[in-house]
Structure 1
Amino acid sequence: MSETIKDPFEGLTKGNSAGNAEPFRIFSEWFVEAEKAESNDPNAMSVATVDENGLPNVRMVLLKEVDERGFVFYTNYESAKGREVLSSGKAALCFHWKSLRRCVRVRGPVVQVADEEADAYYASRARGSRIGAWASKQSRPLESRFALEKEVARYTAKFGFGEIPRPAHWSGFRVQPVEIEFWQDRPFRLHDRLVFKRDALDAAWTIQRLYP
């Protein structure tokens, strides 16, 4: 007899709609499990953007906050990802928790976090990371490793033992989802997929199962 596997989305598609909090509740539950199961960076996620030529770009970053307002990450606004997000105002995210055989995909418009939020998170970072935000001209050509180390030394000397202010070009983005898809591995590639969609940020979600 084949093993019976519990349906992780049982009952969710009844009525084909959900309140604003429902997908965030599922994400929160999955994320708690990922924090227990993943040995490194359970908050790692890929961020996909599009450049000025319409060519997709993707890279890994770390999720720093999530609630019903969206998914937050921080970066240098003058980096490739920063410029592309600011230009298009849109992004897509993907979480892959290999140990749990789960994946979550997110798409939606992007807004900048408030200065107060960025200041609070920046202040929580290690001192070396705060120096790095000043020293690194992210995504731009670097002539040598020594050149980077020289910039680190310059800003270390500049700030000494005092406070290190947040650079104006370094802040956070909040991806406000209009689509969140949950994927759960199943035998024989007959996976479970459930997608939440909404037409506006204040609208209720619709729920749809997808073929694997």
Structure 2
Amino acid sequence: MANSPQPPLDALYQEALATFDTLLSQARGEGDPEPTAMTLASVEGARVSARIVLLKGVDARGFRFFTNYRSSKGEQLAAHPQAALCFHWKTLRNGVQVRVEGRVATLEAAESDEYFATRPRASQIGAWASAQSQTLADRAEFEARIDEFERRFECVPVPRPPHWGGFVLAPDRIEFWYGADFRLHERQCYERDADGAWSRRMLYP
């Protein structure tokens, strides 16, 4: 049976994604040393955690990133699949932030496999060797694990570990924050309601 056609994207959501793409391209053009770096905030009980991760793609589904599913963030996202992202590009204008909030889901295994195959071999070995977020007795222990997996996969392609893969954050809120002198910033906020319709409003700085 043929797949049902996908409904067209909301025009305001398309506008928000296009604005993000433009700003990201501008940040790259202005020489930002790590334009895809973003703060990822997740929740564990009443405690909030934040760390920097790298954006690996954005499309109509949302914002994609990859990690160890057994890491602190991986376990937090599995238990409470809501998260927030924040980009900050100091090189643009007087500074630009993009804040994104929404629900998180794991990517299909095939998509994680495809991305993992593009990583440098040393990074692939590291994904096997690192028990991310777990206690490490000393650096020698980690280096021994790296040697172990280098021997295991000697002369063969490194497969993706089953505990490593991608997430996608499907946004229900996207805010563009444009810095201005005297802290008279401009803020444009896009929000999706329970029926999937997007709206746009300005916020006081």
How high is the TM-score relative to the length of structure 1? 0.89
- Return the match for 1:93 from 72, 85, 94: 85
> Which residue does 1:9 correspond to in 2?
none
Question: Residues 18 and 204 of structure 1 are in contact (CA less than 8 Å); yes or no, is this contact kept in structure 2?
Answer: no
The runs of 5 or more residues in structure 2 that have no matched partner are 1-9
- Return the match for 2:48 from 56, 60, 64: 56
Alpha-carbon distance in structure 2 between the residues aligned to 1:148 and 1:206: 49
- Return the match for 2:15 from 19, 22, 25: 22
- The one-letter code matched in structure 2 to 1:172 is G
The number of residue pairs the alignment matches comes to 194
- Return the match for 1:157 from 126, 151, 163: 151
Q: Secondary structure at the match of 2:171?
A: coil
The runs of 5 or more residues in structure 1 that have no matched partner are 1-16
> Which residue does 2:137 correspond to in 1?
143
Alpha-carbon distance in structure 1 between the residues aligned to 2:88 and 2:31: 10
1:18 deviates by: 4.5
1:106-165 Cα shifts (integer Å, max 9, x gaps):
000001111111000000000000000000000000000110000000000000010111
Moved more, 146-155 or 38-47: 38-47
- The one-letter code matched in structure 1 to 2:12 is G
Alpha-carbon distance in structure 2 between the residues aligned to 1:199 and 1:151: 48
1:20 deviates by: 2.9
- Return the match for 2:109 from 115, 138, 152: 115
> Which residue does 2:165 correspond to in 1?
171
Alpha-carbon distance in structure 1 between the residues aligned to 2:59 and 2:39: 18
2:125 corresponds to 1:125: no
- Return the match for 1:189 from 175, 183, 186: 183
- The one-letter code matched in structure 2 to 1:108 is G
Alpha-carbon distance in structure 1 between the residues aligned to 2:32 and 2:24: 13
Q: Secondary structure at the match of 2:17?
A: helix
Q: Percent sequence identity over matched residues?
A: 44
Alpha-carbon distance in structure 1 between the residues aligned to 2:111 and 2:34: 22
2:58 corresponds to 1:66: yes
Alpha-carbon distance in structure 1 between the residues aligned to 2:55 and 2:31: 15
Question: Residues 20 and 203 of structure 1 are in contact (CA less than 8 Å); yes or no, is this contact kept in structure 2?
Answer: no
> Which residue does 1:33 correspond to in 2?
26
